[in-house]
Amino acid sequence: MPRMTMHHMKPIQMVDLVGQYHKIKSEVDQAVLRVMESAAFINGPEVKEFEKELGAYLGAKHAIGCANGTDALQIAMMALDLKPGDEVITPSFTFVATVEVVALLGLKPVFAEVLPGTFNIDPADVRRKITPRTKAIVPVHLFGQSADMAEIMAIAREHDLFVIEDNCQAVGSDYTFPDGTVRKAGTIGHIGTTSFFPSKNLGCYGDGGAIFTNDDAVAKRLRQVCNHGSEVRYYHDVVGVNSRLDSMQAAVLRIKLRRLDAYAAARNTAATVYDKAFEGIANLQVPARSPRSTHVFHQYTLKVGGGQRDALRAHLEKAGVPAMVYYPVPLHLQKAYEGYGIRRGDLPVTEQLMDEVLSLPMSTELDPEQLTHITAAVRSFFA
């Protein structure tokens, strides 16, 4: 790399949250101060307004704030009355939270394979994993595009199963059904969940999450579970949890929701630069695009063949380019989840991906100079 470039360039981070904040700072600061002046910290007007605005954006009848994306999944499963021993089919190639809540509730995670192109759950393998005890499917819309929801909903209808979409990574992406109907990811199954963890596409400045549904009865139950199992204060009809989105986070999220589509466009711009720069490099595959889903690029994840992934990562680090492996160990091979009757070799696609995936820096703030530096660093490895 030429020294001059290194000298002037903004340091490259996986995600640049400070840079993003500076562009909306006065609006955010005022909103947060307004909450402090009102002291409406819990379930204040900001939360109610944000829930309305998020529901309207997604086209979901109900959007319910909660404390984080992990809680959102747990509350969804509690609201559906899943019972110990019920089987829940999920991918093994996901963040641990998806499976953690299944295990916590005494349900049995059943791991399904993913498709090698999109990294999303393989509907054919979901079909193979169904037993008389299966009660739910939890597709994860990994890295920013929706799983094949038409197929998953068809399987669910055939076998009378619930579908909970883990939409922590693909909020804002559009899924198109074969008949042309377009729906937002997270609003297609019985319940959808998301996370507002700071680095997520719609991130707040702390923890936060939300749950979506179009079903009035399910929405009522979700709100009850979030609120200690209570509809009337101090009367508890079901066992619940305490999980709330706080008002300051809601105030920040209202500001960022208005920019969510522009943020997705900025991520797509960076992704297109990467795609073009890596065209024709043997042993390097750019992210496959689902024919049915738009991509919001929570991550831009390469597949590096020839056993070169870790060497590429080390090469990039030397050039000042961070790169991360999401995720290094599939859940079915994690110590905490080895008791579910599945072993190394049972999910060959997932296991191979864990050795090949490498995510490059991706955020709303990558500038052309940084992108040039990153792509040059990748290309020089293969030169």
Ligand X SMILES: *Cc1c(COP(=O)(O)O)cnc(C)c1O
Nearest residue to the partner ligand X, using Cβ: 69
How far is residue 152's CA from residue 134's CA, in Å, rounded to a whole number?
14
Question: How near is the Cβ of 222 to ligand X at its closest, in Å?
Answer: 16
Residue 337 in contact with ligand X, rule: CB under 6 A = no
Residue 140 in contact with ligand X, rule: CB under 6 A = yes
CA atoms within 13 A on the CB side of 165: 33
Question: How near is the Cβ of 343 to ligand X at its closest, in Å?
Answer: 24
C-beta closer to ligand X: residue 119 or 381: 119
Alpha helices in 59-180 (DSSP H): 69-79, 97-104, 123-129, 149-159
Within its chain, how far is the Cα of 51 from the centroid? 19
Residue 246 in contact with ligand X, rule: CB under 6 A = no
CB atoms within 10 A of CB 260: 17
Give the SS3 label for residue 108.
strand
Question: How near is the Cβ of 106 to ligand X at its closest, in Å?
Answer: 19
Cβ-in-10-Å burial (0-12, 13-18, 19+) of 282 comes to exposed
H or E element, residue 66: strand 62-66
C-beta closer to ligand X: residue 140 or 153: 140
Residue 350 in contact with ligand X, rule: CB under 6 A = no
C-beta closer to ligand X: residue 249 or 370: 249
Question: How near is the Cβ of 139 to ligand X at its closest, in Å?
Answer: 10
Question: How near is the Cβ of 46 to ligand X at its closest, in Å?
Answer: 19
C-beta closer to ligand X: residue 295 or 373: 295
Asked whether the beta carbons of 373 and 360 are under 8 A apart, the reply is: no
Question: How near is the Cβ of 125 to ligand X at its closest, in Å?
Answer: 18
Residue 98 in contact with ligand X, rule: CB under 6 A = yes
Question: How near is the Cβ of 77 to ligand X at its closest, in Å?
Answer: 13
H or E element, residue 63: strand 62-66
Residues 64-83 that bind ligand X (CB under 6 A): 68-70
Question: How near is the Cβ of 140 to ligand X at its closest, in Å?
Answer: 5
Among 20, 92, 94, 359, indicate the residue that binds ligand X (CB under 6 A): 94
H or E element, residue 17: helix 17-38
Among 195, 201, 359, 364, indicate the residue that binds ligand X (CB under 6 A): 195
Among 79, 97, 147, 377, indicate the residue that binds ligand X (CB under 6 A): 97
How far is residue 14's CA from residue 35's CA, in Å, rounded to a whole number?
31
C-alpha separations of 85 from 71, 162, 210 in Å: 20, 15, 26
CB atoms within 10 A of CB 121: 29
C-beta closer to ligand X: residue 46 or 166: 166
Residue whose entry in the numeric block shows the structure tokens 């711009």:
269
Question: How near is the Cβ of 304 to ligand X at its closest, in Å?
Answer: 22
Asked whether the beta carbons of 193 and 164 are under 8 A apart, the reply is: yes
CB atoms within 10 A of CB 64: 26
Residue 370 in contact with ligand X, rule: CB under 6 A = no
Question: How near is the Cβ of 9 to ligand X at its closest, in Å?
Answer: 29
Residues 6+ apart with CB under 8 A from 98: 73, 90, 91, 138, 140, 166, 331
| Contact letters for ligand X, residues 158-177 (x by CB under 6 A) | --------x-xx--------
How many of the chain's residues bind ligand X (CB under 6 A)?
Answer: 15
Residue 209 in contact with ligand X, rule: CB under 6 A = yes
Judged by CB under 6 A, the stretch of 91-99, 108-116, 174-182, 275-283 that binds ligand X is 91-99
User: Where along the sequence are the contacts to ligand X (CB under 6 A)?
Assistant: 68-70, 94-95, 97-98, 140, 166, 168-169, 195, 197, 207, 209
